[in-house]
Structure 1
């Protein structure tokens, strides 16, 4: 498969730009993500407390 150099360069730039934008978008958390993270933390703490109580 013989892809011209200009097209190959353009494709590489497009993939790098898409990846960069994707990573930047993941950096910001919306209210639903913050709530989900808070719920995850609470469940993890409850699990740890139950584990500690059953170990004694």
Structure 2
């Protein structure tokens, strides 16, 4: 994913965070396939409960 590679090129960025609904199967599969790991949950006023994932930028494949 280009966004992750571009983010990894920024020296001040160490972690990328993503969140999605626990019912969004497609997003969960994409996030898992990119190496994100679940780190918690949050409440979004618009979308309700979301699962939060992170991946260290050092794990992002180079371009």
The TM tier, using the shorter chain, reads under 0.3
Report which of the two has the higher share of helix. Answer: 1
When Rg is computed on C-alpha atoms for both structures, the one with the higher figure is: 1
Q: TM-score scaled to structure 2, two decimals?
A: 0.22
Report which of the two has the higher share of strand. Answer: 2
Q: TM-score scaled to structure 1, two decimals?
A: 0.24
